[in-house]
Amino acid sequence: MLRFFPQKNKYIQAESKFTFNNEGPIPKHVAVIMDGNGRWAQNRRLPRIAGHKEGMNTVKKITKHASKLGIKVLTLYAFSTENWKRPTDEVSFLMQLPVDFFDTFVPELIKENVKVHVMGYKEFLPEHTQDAVERAIEQTKDNTGMVLNFALNYGSRAEIVTAIKDIAEKAANSELSAEDITETTIADHLMTGFLPEDLRDPELLIRTSGEERISNFLLWQIAYSELFFTDALWPDFNSELLESALASFQNRNRRFGGLKESEEE
């Protein structure tokens, strides 16, 4: 039904500079700032909530394709701690989305062997949202494939403050000393600490909608992530664009502050 509305600003996918190589390196952890749902709806003269609903359909498609490509962790920025400032009707709809999403998608996730995790301040979510989240986590807990990690009521600065408070409390209780605190200590106390050490930090961060900022997302974890920005609004993001992002990643020179052997020579 949505496609019958004329678009004011239609997105035309640009040709990628790089070709995705199935045999090339695949980032183990990909994070996505899913931006542009509201603008997608407004372009079609629809209410913003229609964009959020279509955005959830995109989540389903991208999750399946990411799993198929061999990505180990897909972290999606679903709702930030700042998003409570949005209109009440929109927030209420966003809080209902996980209920509808998981009710219909969990059987497919089980079939795809995808495990659901949700990080963020879940205790502040409405009870029906919390229940849907916990059911999805419980129903997929035995899956051994890709981790689909939703950042829901998540903010990176708040996450870091919480981690520091936890570490300070342990220090006050003589459970550790200042000398014991390392980067690993901090990473252990962040919300990605549930993941194995080699999977905690995204190797690739994608942001849709043409915006080129981080928006308080995984500030510690993306210290060495490759960044990929696309003008596509999230509901327009598809498997081809995911592969374009991966193709770009495959052609990056990742030095982590050092030099490649060829550059040293």
* Beta-strand pair 115-119/147-154: parallel
What is d(CA 243, CA 22) in angstroms, rounded to the nearest whole number? Answer: 9
Q: Which residues are annotated binding-site positions for Mg(2+)?
A: 35, 226
Q: Which of 143, 77, 76, 135 is nearest to 109 (CA)?
A: 143
3-state helix, strand, coil in the chain (%, to 5): 45, 15, 40
Q: What is the largest CA-CA distance in the chain?
A: 64
The binding site comprises 35-40, 48, 52, 80-82, 84, 86, 207, 213-215, 226
CA distance 149 to 152: 9
Q: HSE-up of 138 (CA within 13 Å, CB side)?
A: 7
The two tokens of residue 15 are 């040709």
* Residues placed in the known binding site for substrate: 36-40, 48, 52, 80-82, 84, 86, 207, 213-215
Strand, helix or coil for residue 213: coil
Catalytic machinery residues:
35, 83
